[in-house]
Amino acid sequence: MRLRILTWHVHGSYLYYLTQAPHEFYLPVKPGKPEGYGGRLGGFAWGDNVHDIAAEAVATQEFDCILFQSRRNYQHDQYEILSEAQRRLPRLYLEHDPPREHPTDTKHVVDDPTMLLVHVTHFNRLMWDNNSTPTCVVEHGVLVPDTIRYSGEIDRGLVVTNGLRSRGRRLGADIFQQVRQSVPLDLVGMNAESLGGLGEIPHAQLPAFQARYRFFFHPVRYTSLGLAVCEAMMLGLPIVGLATTELVTVVENQVSGYISTDIDHLVERMQALIGDVSLARRLGQAAQEQARSRFHIQRFIHDWNQVFERAISQQRLSLI
């Protein structure tokens, strides 16, 4: 069944992968494109199934379900742009992050047994207090071009993070600055120049760009599993990162990369990768095999189709 789904543009890369599902997605837009209302922003090869819709026109349209992706969507936006009838449609909340206020005792903003709360990692679902809301997990799915091959010819590590400077210790800005004193690292992403980085690389150009780097470094202390990690693995880059959150289930030490809470140990491992491209290729091949098994886009689409079906069935049962 092809669904008509209203959602907001919150995380561009995730939205791009989500819209690979065989449904019609409608993105509300406002003049000036404020938070959540950017619609089909540039940098992504949006399909014909992704539609911009003026925010003021949303209330008169027909949808099959509503997908919230932020606290703002749920607490404010739905009351501003949805009709009362639309607010009774099957509703899902896609939670992209682990809790910030307290890692174990934070109650989620949604407390509604008629909704479905979708987490992107098992770690995130474990840490949130999900209240009375039914939950499920849909792990990431990513796409990279089949024509791009890992070369590792650039004997440097690559960090891909948007706004690293402003996001500070949680995303590991201090760790990045510490490590690059001993290991050659390049940073790309929004506002990367503020930390001596190279700037933002459009999503469509990023695979070819990063496939030339020796390894991918993920300095993050506490966040969800980055899509950039999955994309790098899919390309065949070995991953080096902190042994925290969901990453410990993704990277196998000395097989697909290196994870540790000891920064000095990670520096030694990165230096070894800089000096030995054959080691990097061996680890990267294992990372690629893991990514193809765990993060392929067809599994992701299948899981989301099941989630949409569950949300619609669950809402019907609540009305009986």
- Determine contact, residues 216/238, Cβ cutoff 8 Å: yes
Q: Is the pLDDT of residue 82 over 80?
A: yes
**Residue 35: which pLDDT band, with cuts at 50, 70 and 90?**
very high
Enter the tokens of residue 20. Answer: 């690979």
Give the pLDDT confidence score for residue 180 in this predicted structure: 97
Dist CA 283 CA 237 (whole Å):
8
Q: What is the pLDDT of residues 175-214, one digit of tens each?
A: 999 999 999 999 999 999 999 999 999 999 999 999 999 9
- Determine contact, residues 139/162, Cβ cutoff 8 Å: no
Dist CA 46 CA 52 (whole Å):
11
User: Which residues of the chain form CATH 3.40.50.2000?
Assistant: 154-294
The CA-CA-CA angle for residues 173, 175, 180, to 5°, reads: 100
Q: What is the pLDDT of residues 90-147, one digit of tens each?
A: 999 999 999 999 999 999 999 999 999 999 999 999 999 999 999 999 999 999 999 9
Domain 154-294 CATH assignment equals 3.40.50.150: no
Q: Is the pTM of this model over 0.75?
A: yes
Dist CA 189 CA 158 (whole Å):
11
Q: Map residue 130 onto helix, strand or coil.
A: coil
Q: Is the pLDDT of residue 295 over 90?
A: yes
Q: Which residue has the tokens 């939670």?
A: 95
Q: 4-141+297-318: what fold?
A: Rossmann fold (3.40.50)
Count of Cβ atoms closer than 10 Å to residue 54 Cβ: 13
Enter the tokens of residue 163. Answer: 């706004």
Q: Which residue has the tokens 């470094």?
A: 217
Give the pLDDT confidence score for residue 317 in this predicted structure: 65
Q: What is the pLDDT of residues 214-252, one digit of tens each?
A: 999 999 999 999 999 999 999 999 999 999 999 999 999
Dist CA 210 CA 194 (whole Å):
20
First-residue to last-residue Cα distance in the chain:
22
Q: Map residue 74 onto helix, strand or coil.
A: helix
Dist CA 95 CA 128 (whole Å):
10
Q: What is the pLDDT of residues 246-293, one digit of tens each?
A: 999 999 999 999 999 999 999 999 999 999 999 999 999 999 999 999
- Determine contact, residues 27/57, Cβ cutoff 8 Å: no
As beta bridge partners, residue 107 has: 129
Q: Is the pLDDT of residue 320 over 70?
A: no
Q: Is the pLDDT of residue 314 over 90?
A: no
